[in-house]
Amino acid sequence: DAGQQYDSLFDGVLKLPESTLVYPAHDYKGDTVSTIGEEKSSNPRLQVAGRAEYIELMANLKLANPKMMDVA
């Protein structure tokens, strides 16, 4: 759910220090590590004006779920 993603990102994860390392579970460029600061400045999905815009952006991407999303 894109709304829950937004809440988790913008009300939680993105409030961590900019130097915090993050390890993406699925990255389409092959990167295995980044920082909160790098993601804030370079990730287009984080350049939204608010929750509604994020939800619309994610809906319009029409991305398939990652193959292993439900395996844990």
Domain assignment present for 71: no
Q: Is residue 67 part of a domain?
A: no
**pLDDT value at residue 24:** 82
Taking alpha carbons only, the member of 24, 32, 26 closest to residue 66 is 26
Report the number of distinct structural domains present in the chain. Answer: 1
Q: What is the structure's pLDDT at 63?
A: 80
Residue 30 maps to a domain: yes
The whole model's pTM is what? 0.79
Return the pLDDT at 47: 95
Asked if the structure places residue 69 within a domain, the reply is no
Asked if residue 50 is part of any domain, the answer here is yes
Q: Which of 54, 57, 21, 23 is nearest to 36 (CA)?
A: 21
Rg from Cα positions in the chain = 13
- Read off the pLDDT of residues 10-67 as tens digits, 9 standing for 90 and up: 999 999 999 999 998 776 677 889 999 999 999 999 999 999 999 999 999 988 777 7
Residue 10 in contact with residue 39, Cβ under 8 Å? no
What integer pLDDT is reported at residue 10 of this predicted model? 98
Predicted local confidence at residue 27, as pLDDT: 64
Expressed as residue numbers, the domain containing 22 is 2-61
